[in-house]
Chains A and B, each alone.
Chain A
Amino acid sequence: METATAEKLKAFVRGELTWSEVEGMTFEEAKAIAQVGCDLAAAGRYEEARILFEGLVEGNPKDSASRAALGTVYQKLGRLEDAVSEYSAALARDPSNPVALVNRGELYLRWGNRQGFTDLANAVVADPKGQTSAGRRAKALVRAIALAAVEKVKEEPRAKA
């Protein structure tokens, strides 16, 4: 075995390198693989997308974008706890990831957890121009929440009268 490879493996064992670094995978290559994963998910082939994103996350657990994307695949597969766990891991590394924010926010709201509002609000702040689908959804959800809140407020005086 080459000395350089041995040094890299030792660094991996010590936790100083990710497996992607040991293998020499660049960000551009990871992005290309992730794009395939997104296409698979868009085509409804979630199991294949899951395998790709799980591989990316194993290779580089520091990649918040891969973790958020894996979360969406888990969510589609009905593994909601795993999805929230991935979103939270993504947000721990990148607190302004709109995909993780909006999807975790929506799941929290569904479970009646108020943290969901904050997540959605932060998603709007993270993607104010709506460049991502998640960002656009966050905006629409915020408007929907506002409408629902107003409706609720309008109903209350009527009920009292």
Chain B
Amino acid sequence: MSDLLRGLGSALGSVTSLLSGGALIDAAGNALGLPPAITHAAKVAVGAMTGNVMLAADGAMGLAQELTKNPPATTEYTPPADTARACEGYAAPAQHGSSPVGTSGPERACGTARGSHLDPKMNDYFHALQTLQQNFRYLDATDGKLDGNLSRADLQRISEDARVSPELRQAARFLVDNPGYFERLDNTSAPKRMQSVREGASNDDCFTQHSLQNEINKVKADFAQYGRPERPAGSAPSGSTSGTAGSSMKGIINDPNMSLEEKIEAILMALTEKMDGEILQTMDDLAAAQDKQASIKNGKGDEKALTDAQRDIDRISMRLQKLVEKRKMMFEMMSTLSMKFNEMAKTALSNMRSA
């Protein structure tokens, strides 16, 4: 301790000559350019030294203890209190969120949406791209021919086609209503090697399934780099999820008492329930269409009305079939996930046993 003080004293040697007169400490503080905190600390120390001897001794002891308790170069990880700065240079965490490790540092974990300046509509764009990509062949065939690409005019037609499901119409409508996003997709249409051959060739107002996949990857990369933009409060995601379903999903995702596995299962369960509702609704529609057809037949209605009724029945039957298939897939996915989670737990346990 005395060595340290001697060392500090010698370090101060050239400075203490500045000290003179009554306002010694203030002068020292000013001369050294020290902030008021230090000058104040110095005043306290002087008080202890010039007042009571016992007090001074006690102060010196406390000092020695404090310095012993906090040795030099103690390794500590002290990130800035500002969360955005603390998270700088790190990837945004996954959407399901994670709890902060330890107690020091920023109180809030880096949010995915925090700091992301991407257009909130990017979420809807991403959703529309995925919907179009997964239903590309069907959408391509809605004009009666499979030419392998969709144009702006095709999207316009699909968005107004009552035979197409509302989900697909909404995805097409998004790109029609947002020409900026359509252009973005349009410009990624051709592979790079094609672009180098003919500049601007990709900007032909149509896109393929391959370009949709490329664009999905680019949006994913944007999300990974800048974080996923937060959806404005009150706006439900476009697509099949309704507002209430969306909020219940959010409730599941934000529930701190559920594990990740439980959350995934609960979300799949909620989706399955929603699909059950849709299946029941479609069955009702089918029954109504069959009743209509029967009444036309009984009333000896014209051939055209009968053909229309039959077409309606076919369309609703197709929709019902697709929904049942989707539900089956969902159930299989749930079962597979459950199996995988069990396997993971078993592997972890066996690893712990062998460790």
Query: Which residues of A approach B to under 8 Å, CB–CB?
Result: 2-4, 7-8, 11, 16-18, 20-21, 23-32, 34-35, 37-38, 41-42, 49, 60-66, 68-69, 71-73, 75-76, 83, 94, 96-99, 103, 106, 109-110, 112, 114, 116-118, 120-122, 124-125, 128, 131-134, 136-137, 139-154, 156
Contacts and interface: CB of A to CB of B under 8 A. Distances in A.
Contacts of B66: 136-137, 139-140
A69 B92 CA distance: 23
* Closest 8 pairs (CB-CB, A-B): A41-B75, A3-B217, A146-B42, A62-B89, A60-B89, A137-B70, A34-B77, A140-B66
Contact of A122 (B35, B92, B93, B221): B35
Interface residues of B, number: 69
B303 to A, nearest CB: 53
B218 interface: yes
Contacts, number: 240
Given A146-B42, A148-B9, A38 B75 contact: yes
Contacts of A63: 79, 88-90
B224 A24 contact: yes
Contact of A26 (B60, B80, B93): B93
A24 B112 CA distance: 12
B69 interface: yes
B162 interface: no
Contacts of A148: 5-6, 8-9, 12
B77 A149 contact: no
Most chain B beta-carbon neighbours within 10 Å: one of A109, A131, A140: A140
A7 B92 CA distance: 16
B75 A42 contact: yes
B225 A32 contact: no
Given A3-B217, A27-B109, A109-B11, A134 B93 contact: no
Interface string B68-82: 011111111111100
A49 B9 CA distance: 34
A38 B78 CA distance: 11
A114 B34 CA distance: 11
